Structure formats: C-alpha cells, structure tokens
Structure 1
Amino acid sequence: MSTAFAVPQFTSKDYSSFFLAGALCCTVTHGGMTPIDVVKTRIQIDPALKNHSLLSGGRLIVAAEGPGALLTGFGPTAVGYLGGAKFAGYEFWKKQFVEIAGSQESAVAHRTAIYLGASSVAEFFADILLTPLEATRIRLVSERHYATGLTTGFMRLAREEGFQGLYAGFLPILCKQIPYAIGQFTVNEFCHELVFRNMSEEKRRSLSGSTKFGISLGSGVIAGFAAAILSQPADTLLSQINKGHGPTGSMVYRLVTLAREAGVRGLFAGLGPRMIMTAGLVSGQFLLYGGIKDMLGAPPGLEIHKETKSKY
C-alpha cells in the first residue's frame, strides 16, 4: 500500500534563491564559453570552416578577423542564458509532479517521467525569454558587422524584422533546448542515484568535500555529453534558420528541408567542440548552482532517488 509523504513547501524566498543561483551559474559559465560557442556556430554555418576542428577553426577565425572575433556575441550569450528560470522552474515543476504522484512509492516508480516532465516544462517557459537573445547572438556571430553589441543587435533585429524575426527560431530552439534540458537534469539525477544507491545515509553525510566535488563534477560532465548529443541536430538547424538559410514556407517545412539537405553528418557538424563546451557548461553550472545555493542559505532540492527512504 502506498504511503503518504511530506513534500517540502518551498517559499517565495527559496524560489528567488533558486532563480538567482541559476542565473549566476549560467551567466558565468556561458559567458566564459563564448569563444568555443563562436567557433562551434561558425563551423555549423560557414562552408569554409565546415570540416575544421575546434582548434583549427579557431585559428582560422583569429587569423582572418583577429582575437576579438572569438568574443563576438558575449553579451547575449551571457545574458541570454540567464538560467534562473530553468533552474527555479525545474525545482518548482519537479515538486508539482511529485505531489501529483501522491506517494513516495509512486514518485520513485515514476521518477523518470517526473524528471522528463519537470525539465521539459521548465525549459519551455525559459525559452520564451531565451529565443530573441539567441537570435541576436547568432546574427552577431554570423555577420561580424551586424551590430556593436547586444542592445544594438537586438534593436536592429526588432526594428527590421519585428516579432517574426525575434521568434523565427522558437520551434527549433524548443527542439534544441528541451532535449538539452532533459539530458542535463535527467542524466545528472541518475548519475547521482547510481553513486548513492548502495551508500548509507551515514556514509553519505560523512563524505569529504573533495569527494562531493568529484561526484558533482563527474555527473555534470556525463550529463553535459548527453545534453550535447541529444540537442545537436536542432542546434545545427537553429543556426541555419537564424542565418536565413532554407526555403520559404512554414517553420516545419523549412526544418525538414534543411535537415534533408544537411543529412546526418551535416546535422552533427561541430558535435566535438560542442560536447567539450557542454560538458564544461553543465558540470560548471551544477557546481556553481550548489555552491551559490549554500551561500544563500537555500534548501536542497527535492530528491526522489530510488535508494532513499525519505528525502522529503
């Protein structure tokens, strides 16, 4: 028989802490990864760089355009990935779905669905904020003299193309970011579960700081690899759409046509650099997120790992 259990009642202050921690961790990591993101995007959309690696592509860009080219789009990259909405949203929706489950046994049995649902819904709402800034970032990267920065690039895109231009990539960005979020959060949850499954609560509480760091780092790296692989095809299509490639017509028709033209190999162009970038991003974000939450005095997130008897 299923038993009831107590779910933590996070306050508005708790969610504010989750949001701030998520915002800071994503801004720091994405801003720091701008050079890799520039090279990755150029490999996806520039025929001259199509078959180059991260290092060789970066050398060509620096040789032709100077070192400053690797920081193109720093503003929207740092600001656009304010992940506060995603991290706080994941905490919120995971709690909602656990409450819907109604019992500890049911939540544990359906934990995969809870992780998938919470990450997907949180990412959907975060993407409403992200899409215009992502469109601006790709314009700045792909057209070097498009604008001088985030504000001027955003204003030019809004002025010249309006709502349609700002949200032209909304469908492909959903196709990219939702699998990304699924890989990021779901795989990270299961990596931690795998580590803690046969570990007693007493041993878990006595883990050293370096051990906890290693577990978080390893889980984040694996989750980052998964996020990169799952979202790579849509990431390539998003770059193409924001560059203006493809036929006219509905977004679905354009995406299908571009996918056929690219083929499997083309859709996964730039995967190597992106896996490196994403592993660093995701692991860095989880480490920073946990550290910032601790500094803010925020409570731990809700856990529904199989091995736990009650973490609620």
Structure 2
Amino acid sequence: MGDAGAAARAARGDGAAAAGMRVFSPEYYALCAGGGMLAAGATHLAITPLDVLKVNMQVNPMKYSSIFAGLNVLVKEEGPSSLWRGWGGKFLGYGVQGGCSSASAQIIADVGLSPFESVKVRVQTQPMFAKGLIDGFPRVYATEGLSGFYRGLLPLWGRNLPFSMLMFSTFEHTVDFLYQKVIQKRKEDCSTIQQLGATCLAGYISGAVGTVVSNPADNIVSSLYNKKAENIIHAVKSIGLRNLFIRSLPIRITLVGPVITMQWFFYDTIKILTGLPTSGGLPRDLEELNV
C-alpha cells in the first residue's frame, strides 16, 4: 500500500489558516501528522483480510490462485480469524508511515515501517512462526537479528518511493482537472461535498496508478521477508519478470484503490473539521497569480 503521508499532502491547497492556527506552524504540522497517522492506520487496519490474502498469493500463488478461492482456502483451513493476522502491524506500521509523510520523507517513513512489515508478513504467511507483534518481534530478532527487520528495506523503498511520487503527482493533476474541466469552479466556491467528492475520485485514480508501478517491488518485499529468496536478484529470478508485474496485481488494485480513497477522505475530513482547506488545487491567491 505504499501510502498517503501528512506533510506532503499539505504542500498545496493550504493557503488558509484554521482558526487560531498558523499554517506551517509546529501545531499545523502536528495536526497534519496526527491526521496522517489516523487516516493511514485506520484504513490499513480495515483491509487486513485482503492484505493477508495478497501476501499469501504472492508467496504461494499455486495454492491461492484467485481472490475468492484464496479467501475460501484461508477460512476453510485456518478459520475466519486467520484473515486478521497481522492487524497490529498494519495499524501501527502504516500509522507510523502515514505520520512521517511521503515522497521526500518516504525514506525515513519506510525505515519506521520496515520492522512492522517484516513481522506482519511473517505472521500472515507463517502462523506457526508467530501469532502477532508481541511474539513476532522477539522471534525475528532471535532468529535473524536486527537485519531480519530490514532485509526487505531496499525493495520497500523501491515500492513506496515510486508509488508515493506518482500517487501524489496523479492526485494533484486529477484534482486540478476535476475543478477546471468537470466541476468548473474554483475549489473555494465548491461545497464541502463537492470538495470531498473530488478528493475521493482523485484518490482512487492515483492509488490505482501507483499500484501498477509498485507491484514488482511489492512481490519482492513479500519474497524476501518470507525467505523465499536470499536477495533481490534471486527474488527476481525465482518470481520471473512477467510475474513481477502481474502476480497479485488484481487484488492489489482492489485493495489499494479504496484504501487510498479512504485515506484522502479521512485526512481531508479532519482538515475540514479543524478549519483547514481540503487537499489539492491552487489557493485562490496563487491561482490568480498564475493567470
């Protein structure tokens, strides 16, 4: 899920200040970070069952051949609770990432995410290895040391950096297009419903586009954390070039599109409730200068 971060979202469209809050002040960034953590953590928690299936499809594509067949196998063999394995890693890991921001700060954000991702993937695919974060962290450290938490950091950067840059760029261009060509109003002249509608549609499109670009690295991440491969080159060879792009892509689009949409929705709702403008689109004063 590559992911929506706080400070980068606030880079544009925040020309107005909330009542009693100065834009770009420490309080402003604290609000953005808190909103990013809540939006990212809550949305990733909600899609844990699909994430469990996605990781298992990447690690064992013959057994988990499709979305519906894979869900049936998991529930039949391991019970409904298996669909929620790794929920703690999803909520805390992506909460940390969402609070750190994306694109320019994604390198730092992924350093915080990597240990949670390492444990989460193992919990989701190796239930005998660990049941959750509490026993997962010491088990990874005992068997592999600190390197076990970061063996997938490079492909994690390879997944999340392109995803974030393309996602934010697509989001901004889509929002501008919607206001200029579809709604045909300035953002400040639109209702709250119209603004949140533009946010959600742009969020879904940007999430789908970013998913396609990041899919090869996501497959490599799962392979390395499950020790299906010893290094990136071995992972690429074992998965195959074609499968890097298509394996688990349908479920990732099914998963990431709604997640990014809800992250933007929650994030902009928090901004509206605190008096800040929604994301994307040039503020009126900057728009007039551009004209």
TMscore range, shorter length: 0.7 to 0.9
Cα distance between partner residues in 1 of 2:221 and 2:229: 11
Cα distance between partner residues in 2 of 1:216 and 1:257: 40
Within a 5 Å distance, the mapping from 1:1-312 to structure 2 comes to: 10-50=24-64, 52-82=65-95, 86=98, 89-90=101-102, 119=103, 121-197=104-180, 203-247=186-230, 254-267=231-244, 268-298=246-276, 308-310=287-289
The 1:88–1:245 alpha-carbon spacing in structure 2 relative to 1, beyond 3 Å, is: closer
Q: Which has the larger radius of gyration?
A: 1
- Give the superposition deviation at 1:138: 0.5
Q: How many residues align?
A: 268
8 Å Cα contact 1:86-1:122 kept in structure 2: no
CA offsets per residue over residues 21-75 of structure 1, 9 Å max, x none?
Answer: 000001110000000000011000014335x221111111111111111001010
Partner of 2:12: none
Q: Percent identity?
A: 25
RMSD between superposed Cα atoms in Å: 2.6
- Give the superposition deviation at 1:310: 4.7
Q: Which amino acid aligns with 1:215?
A: A
Q: Which amino acid aligns with 2:192?
A: G
Cα distance between partner residues in 2 of 1:132 and 1:228: 22
Cα distance between partner residues in 2 of 1:205 and 1:298: 12
8 Å Cα contact 1:224-1:279 kept in structure 2: yes
- Give the superposition deviation at 1:89: 3.5
8 Å Cα contact 2:171-2:280 kept in structure 1: no
- Give the superposition deviation at 1:159: 2.8
Q: 3-state SS of the aligned residue for 1:49?
A: coil
In structure 1, stretches of 5+ residues that fail to align are 1-6, 91-118, 248-253
CA offsets per residue over residues 258-297 of structure 1, 9 Å max, x none?
Answer: 2133223321211001101100110000000011122234
In structure 2, stretches of 5+ residues that fail to align are 1-14, 16-21
